[in-house]
Amino acid sequence: MPERPLRELTADELLAYETDGVICARGLFSDAWIDRMAHAVDRVVANPTFFGNVVSMKDQNFSGDLFVWKVDDDFRDWIYDSPASRVAQQVLGSERICHFYDQLFVKPPGCHVPTPWHQDITFWPVDVECRALCSIWITFDSVDRAGSGLEFVKGSHLWTERFKAVTPNYDPFMLDSDFADAPDIDNHRDDYDLYCPDMGPGDCLIFNPHVLHGSSSNYSTETARRAFSSRWSGEGVTYEDRRATMPLLWEHGLQTGDPIGGSLFPQILPHPIAEEGERRAQGPQPPEPATVKAVMSAIANRASS
Ligand SMILES: O=C(O)CCC(=O)C(=O)O
């Protein structure tokens, strides 16, 4: 069973999550977890997964990766053993917690790749009005705004607009949706209640899937900005087969309207389900070449149509 966090979130933090859509929480994870995952991030950056090679921008030193837990044992253990699921359980107030997926965002010193302003929900193959999801973004370095600290528009999770998913490389596949462009926050910064806390290694941001957020280039010439998000789903989140959402490279067996769960989105709390984790427990599970081929050719067809 997952470990308990070093402390529970306070009532004030839980209230701020509801009103602002984001909180910065410190002191939840042990040094052992922080060290272990910092090393794991370095290893994955040096040996990206198939997905990592697709989403990284190697010529600009930006490394991204997704669903790393399927092939890397430290990331798998983060899901099953670390306190992250329990933190999500507290934030979402949900007894059942499934792991949704993990995503790396690594910007070495001088990596001039901003993350455009976006809402996460439109990236994901779920009903866009589902609220019982959260991300836990953990940094392994000291970050501030100029060092590509993640920045949020407080309260924007309550807006009714849904915006286009925009990736750091402006992937045309993701942009091919009917949602509106995100507002031009950077040129109207005074119009918004912006939040970008200075953070140290092991601090995390916990945020709502509808809150607008983004980050600048890493302007530091000395400090790397290594971070990853683990994303969690509570009760009532349903799968939706919608275009312009992140491709899923593993069979999941879900149809539109089904609750999130199963071998790609395993339940962790109140307890893991043996059959869901069975295949992964036997060893790394890279995607099947046939599934990758089918997904990549669907993307290429959309891009050219
Ligand atoms: O780290 C970043 O620059 C982006 C993170 C992000 O957008 C997310 O985790 O949802």
CATH number, position 231: 2.60.120.620
Residue 5 domain-assigned? no
Task: With respect to residue 3, please indicate whether it lies within any of the assigned structural domains.
Answer: no
Query: Is residue 4 a part of any domain in this protein?
Result: no
Give the atom of ligand 1 at the shortest distance from the alpha carbon of 207.
10
**Residue 237 lies in domain:** 11-304
Structure token digits, residue 221 = 């010439």
Q: Helix (H, G, I), strand (E, B), or coil: what is residue 275?
A: helix
**Domain presence at residue 47:** yes
Ligand 1 centre to CA of 114 (Å) is 10
216 in contact with ligand 1, CB cutoff 6 A: no
Residue 1 falls within a domain, yes or no?
Answer: no
SS3 assignment for 1-35: CCCCCCCCCCHHHHHHHHHHCEEEECCCCCHHHHH
Q: Which atom of ligand 1 is the closest one to the Cα of 118?
A: 7
Give CA–CA dist 303/305, Å, rounded: 6
Q: What span, in angstroms and rounded, lies between the C-alpha atoms of 183 and 181?
A: 6
| pLDDT tens, position by position, 198-251 | 999 999 999 999 999 999 999 999 999 999 999 999 999 999 999 889 999 999
Does a structural domain hold residue 6?
no
To the question of pTM greater than 0.95 for the whole model, the response is: yes
Cβ of 104 closer than 6 Å to ligand 1, yes or no, is no
Q: In this structure, is residue 150 part of a structural domain?
A: yes
Whether the CB of 120 sits within 6 Å of ligand 1: yes
pLDDT cut 90: percent of the chain above it: 90
Closest residue (by CA) to atom 8 of ligand 1? Answer: 229
Structural domain count, the chain: 1
Task: Express each pLDDT in 108-149 by its tens digit.
Answer: 999 999 999 999 999 999 999 999 999 999 999 999 999 999
